């Protein structure tokens, strides 16, 4: 069982940056693949990025490649999402999630979810 709590969301102007954090509690954080998803108003939840157990491999949605970076610190049980060059279309609630295999982009594959953090990018 893993409990996930996101933080770091907020309001930022287009072109700005934010770093999201997701703190995990429970056992064996390093046994989980971690992912970030987002859900914009009126849309379904979509894959953003994922990172393997050790952090050696990562995967990104085409829409964020080159702008977002996922990382993890297993000693701190935390996964991060550094978001640069933000665009208004990045506005969404961002969720972190835990899975047991990599790479996985399907929402249904992830077993544990946080409550989400709002990111709003103004033009």
pLDDT of 26 higher than 90? no
Give percent of the chain with pLDDT exceeding 90.
96
In sequence order, which ranges of 39-111 are alpha helices (DSSP H)?
none
Residues 63 and 18: their CA atoms lie apart, in Å, by 17
For the segment 20-28, the average pLDDT, to the nearest whole number, is 92
Residue-level pLDDT at 27: 78
Per cent of the chain over pLDDT 70 is 100
Note the pLDDT tens digit of each residue in 32-53. 999 999 999 999 999 999 999 9
């Amino acid at each position: 069982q893993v409990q996930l709590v996101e933080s770091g969301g907020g309001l930022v102007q287009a072109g700005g940056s934010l770093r999201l954090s997701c703190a995990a509690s429970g056992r064996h954080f390093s046994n989980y693949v971690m992912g970030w998803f987002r859900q914009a108003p009126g849309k379904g939840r979509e894959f953003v990025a994922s990172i393997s157990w050790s952090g050696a491999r990562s995967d990104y949605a085409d829409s964020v490649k080159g702008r977002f970076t996922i990382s993890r610190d297993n000693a701190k049980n935390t996964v991060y999402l550094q978001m640069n060059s933000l665009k208004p279309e990045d506005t969404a609630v961002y969720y972190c999630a835990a899975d047991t295999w990599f790479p996985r982009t399907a929402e249904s594959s992830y077993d544990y979810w946080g409550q989400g953090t709002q990111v709003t990018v103004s033009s």
